[in-house]
Amino acid sequence: MAKINPNTDLEREIALLNDLSHQNLGARWQAVHSAPPPKGISRRLLPIGYRWTLMAPLIPKPGAICARSRQAPRQLYGHGLP
């Protein structure tokens, strides 16, 4: 599967999920996970799991501090975080 542009392709992909059949959702799941979806997964739960898989790489890792947050102490106190 091609890389997803988080600003456009991801939004488009998520918007399409509600219109896909259970079989099409299963095929997309398999393309991402290289395995079929869990046996017996409901039509309601399958898009939720697939959405999570698409969005998980965009979630900051635990302990990660964005550059803006690192700069805040410097602006307030004259020194930043390591």
Q: For 2-20, write each residue's pLDDT tens digit.
A: 555 555 678 888 888 888 9
Distance in angstroms (rounded) separating the CA atoms of residues 55 and 73? 30
- The least confident of 9-13, 40-44, 52-56, 69-73 is 69-73
Neighbours of 51 (CB within 10 A): 14
Distance in angstroms (rounded) separating the CA atoms of residues 25 and 7? 21
Q: What is the pTM of this model?
A: 0.59
